Amino acid sequence: MTPTKQFLRFCVVGVVGLLVDLSVLYATAWAMGWYAARVLSFIAAATATWWLNRHFTFHDKKQNTHSIWQQYLRYMVSMLGGATLNYSTYVATLHWVHVPGVAALGVALGSCAGLVLNYLSARYFVFKHHS
């Protein structure tokens, strides 16, 4: 699969992750607050995108060098850089933008902020081809 096609698939998976993220955020924010709920929603979204990327985006990569749990842990750790950009953008949006739906805007902007770093981490660290 070409890197361009792979990146586009990663983006499609990211949209699904965004929907998971928003769903969990809005379902839990009433109890946890907008900041703590965002941590939980990111973990849920990252878990969903790991599974989808494993089966859809990077399915053609040889994946037998790590157990499924090792791969999941590698994925979650590799997403920390993007998560930092993502969460920082979310917090800045909530702090500085005062419009209805600001949390959804923050999640979307945060997802965009971490996109390239997360893709590169997944492609070259988690799902890299092992000869």
User: pLDDT tens digit string along 19-36?
Assistant: 999 999 999 999 999 999
pLDDT number for residue 62: 57
Tens digit of pLDDT for each residue in 51-105? Answer: 999 999 998 755 546 689 999 999 999 999 999 999 999 999 999 999 999 999 9
pLDDT number for residue 60: 72
Cα–Cα dist 48/54, whole Å: 10
CA dihedral 46, 118, 110, 95 (to 10 degrees): 100
3-state secondary structure (DSSP) of residue 86: helix
Looking at the chain, how many residues does it have? 131
- Answer whether 45's CB lies under 8 Å from 18's CB: yes
The pTM of the full predicted model, rounded to 2 decimals, is 0.90
Token readout for 87 is 């969460």
pLDDT number for residue 128: 81
- Answer whether 51's CB lies under 8 Å from 35's CB: no
Tens digit of pLDDT for each residue in 106-125? Answer: 999 999 999 999 999 999 99
pLDDT number for residue 131: 44
